[in-house]
Structure 1
Amino acid sequence: MKQYAVVTGSSRGLGKSFAGELAQRQINLILISLPNESLVSFGKKMASEYGIDVHCLETDLSNTQNVISVAEKINKQFNVFILINNVGIGGSRKFTDVDSTYIIKMVQINILATTVLTRQLLPNLFKQPEGYVLNVSSLAAYSPIGYKTIYPATKSFIYSFSIGLCQELKDTNVFVSVVNPGPMVTNEDVFVRNKKQSLFGRLAYSDSAKVAKKSIDNIFKRKKVILVNPLSWLLLQIVPTRITCSILTSTMKREIQ
Structure 2
Amino acid sequence: MKETFAVITGASQGLGKSFAQELAQKKINLILISLPNEGLSDLCKNFQEQFGIRAVHYETDLSTQENVLTLANWINENYAVKILINNAGVGGTKKFDEASSAYIEKIIQINVMATTLLTHQLLANLKKQDKSYILNVSSLAAFSPIGYKTVYPASKAFIHSFSRGLYQELKATNVFVSVVNPGPMKTNEDTTKRIEGQGFLASMTALKPEKVAKYCIQQLEKRDTVIMVNRFSWLCLRILPIWIKLPMLTNKIKKELTITP
State the TM bucket, normalised to the shorter chain: over 0.9
- 1:196 counterpart residue number: 197
Native 8 Å contact 1:93 1:148 kept in 2: yes
Q: Mind listing any 5+ residue stretches in structure 2 that lack a counterpart? A: none
Say if 2:47 is the partner of 1:81: no
Structure 1 residue 256, shift from structure 2 partner: 1.1
Question: 1:111 maps to what in 2?
Answer: 112
Separation in 1, partners of 2:192, 2:92: 14
Give deviations 1:2-57, integer Å, cap 9, x for gaps: 11000000001110110011001110000011101111111111111111000100
**Percent identity among equivalent residues?**
56
Amino acid at match of 1:105: K
- SS in structure 2 at match of 1:32: strand
Give 1:146's aligned residue: 147
Structure 1 residue matching 2:93: 3-state secondary structure: coil
Q: Which TM-score applies when normalising by structure 1?
A: 0.96
Change (3 A) 1:199 1:166: farther
Q: Which residue of the partner structure matches residue 39 of structure 1? A: 40
Give the C-alpha shift of residue 192 in structure 1. Answer: 3.9
Amino acid paired to 1:179: V
User: Cα deviations across residues 81-137 of structure 1 (Å, max 9, x unaligned)?
Assistant: 100000000111110111111111110000000000000000000000001000000
Q: Say which SS state the counterpart of residue 123 (structure 1) adopts.
A: helix
Match of 1:256 in 2: 257
Secondary structure of 1:197's counterpart equals coil
Q: Which residue of 2 aligns with 1:22?
A: 23
Shift of 1:191: 3.6
Change (3 A) 1:232 1:200: farther
Q: How does 1:1-257 map to 2 (within 5 A)?
A: 1-197=2-198, 201-202=202-203, 205-257=206-258
State the one-letter code of the partner of 2:70: S
Q: Which secondary structure state, in structure 2, belongs to the residue aligned with residue 148 of structure 1?
A: coil
Alpha-carbon deviations, 1:127-153, whole Å to 9, x = none?
000010000000000000000000000
Q: In the TM superposition, what whole-angstrom CA distance separates every residue of 1:172-227 from its partner, at most 9, and x where no partner exists? A: 00000000001111345444433332577457621100110111111111110000
Matched residue of 2:184: which SS?
coil
Task: Tell me how far apart the structure 1 counterparts of residues 18 and 91 of structure 2 sit (CA, whole Å).
Answer: 18
Distance 2:81 2:108 in 1: 26
Q: Is the 8 A contact 2:13 2:188 kept in 1?
A: no
> Quick check: 2:196–2:202 contact (8 Å CA) kept in 1?
no
Unmatched runs of 5 consecutive residues or more in structure 1: none
